[in-house]
Structure 1
């Protein structure tokens, strides 16, 4: 599952939080070693579009930080 379908499923399941996982890429889909995970809380009133926006915020905040840490041979936090 990918794209808006993920956010729709998160809302349908009544999840109270969601997040991103940054991982290495290998030959198998979503099976690379995990580098870092970040979460954000969800509100009961959040729509799939709200969830997508929250995920986008996490991605824009953490992707550059993690890449910079990896380039400096630091362990991402």
Structure 2
């Protein structure tokens, strides 16, 4: 069975989508590990509630966080790593050694790169009066949002779209896309 680790900094809504799909028997993967750089992240509590091993790894807990992450991924035999709102850049050592997938709340290559995440992306999309937006699932390399695109899903924007409404729509679309991608790996 394919073993998946999730790295998340806050809520980990992508982690929740994977877990719910597992419960519904829609996926043939095993969620074996959750890592967060934030000791107060909700994703850690959810992982504990679901009996999934979880760890806090950051510069306060480890001299070299990426090295510690690599050790955990190897120890748990992870085939894939999914970034669910993980707010730290990963080293090329990690991205070169593991299959790491990120979910980005826009249609890359537009609205990607350093500083383009969450609400900042949606604000830019609305400010530029885009007609469509969406979600991109992509491989992670050493550069922000430049890895190979694996799956994109788009949605039409209303002329009066608010940032809050767009964020909710994108989150919903993102959960669908994540499950679809992991059905096919």
What interval of TM-score do these two structures reach, taking the shorter chain for normalisation? 0.7 to 0.9
Give the TM-score normalised by the residue count of structure 2.
0.37
Determine which structure has the larger helix proportion and give its number. 1
Q: Which secondary structure state, in structure 2, belongs to the residue aligned with residue 39 of structure 1? A: strand
Show the counterpart of 1:38: 153
RMSD across aligned positions (CA): 1.0
Show the counterpart of 1:75: none
Give the deviation of 1:33 after TM superposition.
0.8
- Compare relative contact order (CA 8 Å, sep 6+) and give the higher one, 1 or 2: 1
Runs of 4+ in 1 over 6 A off after TM superposition: none
Show the counterpart of 1:73: none
Q: Which consecutive residues of structure 2, in runs of 5 or more, have no partner in the other structure?
A: 1-115
Q: Which secondary structure state, in structure 1, belongs to the residue aligned with residue 117 of structure 2? A: coil
CA distance in 2, matches of 1:15, 1:32: 23
Q: Do residues 14 (structure 1) and 129 (structure 2) align? A: yes
CA distance in 2, matches of 1:67, 1:25: 16
Q: How many residues align?
A: 70
Q: Which consecutive residues of structure 1, in runs of 5 or more, have no partner in the other structure?
A: 71-77
CA distance in 2, matches of 1:57, 1:26: 26
Q: Decide which structure has the larger Cα Rg and report it.
A: 2
